[in-house]
Structure 1
Amino acid sequence: MTATATPTDRDRRRWARYLVDERAEARVYRELAARREGEEREILLALAEAEGRHEAHWLALLGGEPARLPAPSLGGRVLGWMARRFGSIFVLALAQNAEDRSPYDTEPFATPQMAADEKIHREVVRGLAARGRRRLSGTFRAAVFGANDGLVSNLALVMGIGATGVSSSFVLFSGVAGLLAGALSMGAGEFVSVRSQRELLDATEPNAYADEALPDLDLDANELALVYRTRGLGADEARDKAHRVVAAAQAADRSQPYQRPAEARNDHEVVGSALGAAASSFLFFASGAIIPVLPWLFGMTGVAAVVLALVLVGLALLLTGATVGLLSGGPPLKRGLRQLAIGFGAAAITYLLGLVFGVSLA
């Protein structure tokens, strides 16, 4: 129920802010819809239409278009800019977080329907973002983990080697060797992992081995129901489905081999391509592992090289952590700081070990 109290100037300023935010969100959804087709486009346009209804609510309370409106928030402007230029999973992930911060639960001038809409919008956007995550999950997982592993492992390597007191050329050689060895190992390991996963899925997927026998099964007492029960259906549901399949097979042209309708297979899409995952893992590990080596590669030595390596790797760790946070729907800064703490923690341990070995070898 909307509030019946006389609105204050503060209330009107808040309504104007809501109006601007609703328009910005609707614009983002329309921009994303322009880059989509089919069902996803329809869903995004429906979301934009719903935001338009919310916009109309605030316009009605304001008595029409205000002479002056507040500027869109920084987050809204960034989201709109990304939607116009990328239309990617990142925008949907950010939109999901934005929908999670709806103020309508405690807004006395918002209707219960508006508050409910915002909760549903978040789930709709989550579903759209989940589709995108599934499409890139295999290759993206290899890319992010590859880059992060390259950053952390090679930073730890050069910190540990450098702490022993060896020459800068030896630190550079160790860093390049670590880059090549790690990238090859990551690429090969990812290829074997994804390929094995796909082979396992192939072995468990339904196949057409028994399809030619379907027309000869007893319509009322057939064992096809047992097959569906092994796939998780209940007894009644499995029996009904088996009855439909056998009836269709018997009604088909006996002169042509019966082909059962294909069942949906989404697992391979989630796992991704073995070659794609291996190539991403190799390239991104190498791109991450080269960063700690850059100061020595350009001729720097001593403390200056160490400090610059730490700064460069720290920025890269914050970036990879924030990216994972965005795509997972989590807080980007928190994920970035977590990556930073893990990477610097590993580097600190190997540096201390290098100091110990350096002293013992002196």
Structure 2
Amino acid sequence: MTETHSPPDSFSSSNVPAPTPKQIKKWRNYLADEQAEGAVYRDLASRKTGEEREILLALADAEKRHEQHWRDLLGPHIGKPLKGSKRTRMLGWLARRFGGVFVLALAQQAEGRTAYEADADAPAKMLADERIHGEVVRGLATRGRQRISGTFRAAIFGANDGLVSNLALILGIGASGASHGTVLLSGFAGLLAGALSMGAGEYVSVSSQRELLAAENPSPKASQAIGDLDVDQNELALVYRARGMSSNDAETHAKNMIANFTAHTKLAEDAEHDKHEAVGTAWGAAISSFFFFASGALIPILPYMFGLDGLQAVWVASALVGVALILTGTSVGVLSGSSPLRRAIRQLAIGFGAAAVTYVLGLLFGATIA
């Protein structure tokens, strides 16, 4: 029977039995992955500044503890350095060339897929580290998501709507027996009308949302009045009770505000800026929505632009749109930290389902007209 190695929680490997060839191979792979993960964090840090850079470098330093654990276990069996897993190497390649929230989202998923949970050779402290690292990366990724969420939402929704609506439009018209020219003209009309509608709708939507958020911000004059309040009989506590605090908490908070009042004291919470940032700008959302809808709506028209017709054009258009839907679904899955495959399949099913309905309706109406 092979003796099981059980390192203590202190990451020490002294006075342990000689490792088996299987353990040596596994530990060397773990060491390579830890080294690659540390490199990913350093590459990401090189593209950041300020606090985010410091956090990423601290994560890279933390990975060195894990490296040392496997070095200690391997001892003289450490051998030549190995490459990390393909997934980690790909993450490193993306980090060096792009950085950004998508790489952070992928890193978040990678931290959540640790193999240490089912491995007796990895101490509990190491597994706990990986869990905490995942939450740190989640926090950094959330910052990035908030910065791009408004424009990204408009871009993804715009592209998806363009793909699905124009594919459904040209399939429905084509199935009715309309000529090649009519299908092509309808496709371009749907592209322009949909892009203008999406752009205008996003502008109004984001503008309205920002106005509603602005209406929630306390008045600057109210903040200036804090210093002149009657300390014994003030209504500042009512402000915090109106925001949902209990009576006792509101009174305590109001007293602290008055006691620590300065010329820069504000009633507004620091999160107000983040809320506006998460919504995005009206023009940014409108322009993104317009161009991404147009780019998505152009794809199902391409076969007709190159002279294809009938079922051949239908199959080519459907295949092109299917690839694009998979890409948009995967992007959303990666950014949200959920399964990219599941999101891609969902996008594909919804898009093709809508197109199939209009195609069948086109066949029915075409037969009726004939």
Q: TM-score, normalised by structure 2?
A: 0.92
Give the counterpart of 2:131 among 91, 108, 119.
119
Q: CA RMSD in A?
A: 1.7
Q: Distance in 2 between matches of 1:303 and 1:59?
A: 62
Q: Distance in 1 between matches of 2:17 and 2:159?
A: 56
In the alignment, structure 1 segments of 5+ residues that lack a partner are 253-257
Name the residue aligned to 1:83: 95
Name the residue aligned to 1:285: 293
Mapped pair 1:358 → 2:370? no
Q: Is the 8 A contact 1:219 1:247 kept in 2?
A: no
Post-superposition offset of 1:68: 3.5
Mapped pair 1:60 → 2:78? no
Amino acid at match of 2:171: M
- 1:307-351 per-residue CA deviation (whole Å, 9 max, x = no partner) reads 111111111000000000000001112211211111111111111
Greater than 6 Å deviation, 4+ residue runs: none
Counterparts of residues 126-205 of structure 1 (less than 5 Å) = 126-205=138-217
Amino acid at match of 1:300: L
Give the counterpart of 2:233 among 210, 216, 221.
221
Comparing 5-14 and 275-284, the one that deviates more: 5-14
Comparing 212-221 and 304-313, the one that deviates more: 212-221
Mapped pair 1:263 → 2:269? yes
Name the residue aligned to 2:330: 322
Amino acid at match of 2:32: V
Post-superposition offset of 1:244: 3.1
Task: Calculate percent identity across the aligned residue pairs.
Answer: 60
Q: Distance in 1 between matches of 2:218 and 2:111?
A: 40
Counterparts of residues 229-268 of structure 1 (less than 5 Å) = 229-249=241-261, 258-261=263-266, 263-264=269-270, 265=272, 266-268=274-276
Amino acid at match of 2:230: D
Mapped pair 1:338 → 2:343? no
Post-superposition offset of 1:299: 1.8
Name the residue aligned to 2:11: none
Q: Is the 8 A contact 1:318 1:340 kept in 2?
A: yes
| Cα distance change of structure 1 residues 290 and 53 upon mapping to structure 2, 3 Å threshold | same
Amino acid at match of 2:269: E
| Cα distance change of structure 1 residues 222 and 147 upon mapping to structure 2, 3 Å threshold | same
Name the residue aligned to 1:8: 20
Comparing 260-269 and 145-154, the one that deviates more: 260-269
Name the residue aligned to 1:305: 313
Name the residue aligned to 2:38: 26
Name the residue aligned to 1:39: 51
Comparing 210-219 and 126-135, the one that deviates more: 210-219
Q: Distance in 1 between matches of 2:21 and 2:84?
A: 19
Q: TM-score, normalised by structure 1?
A: 0.94
Comparing 167-176 and 332-341, the one that deviates more: 332-341
Post-superposition offset of 1:12: 0.8
- 1:209-261 per-residue CA deviation (whole Å, 9 max, x = no partner) reads 33444333221331111112212333233223322333455xx6xxxxx5533
Q: Distance in 2 between matches of 1:65 and 1:85?
A: 34
Q: Distance in 1 between matches of 2:247 and 2:49?
A: 39
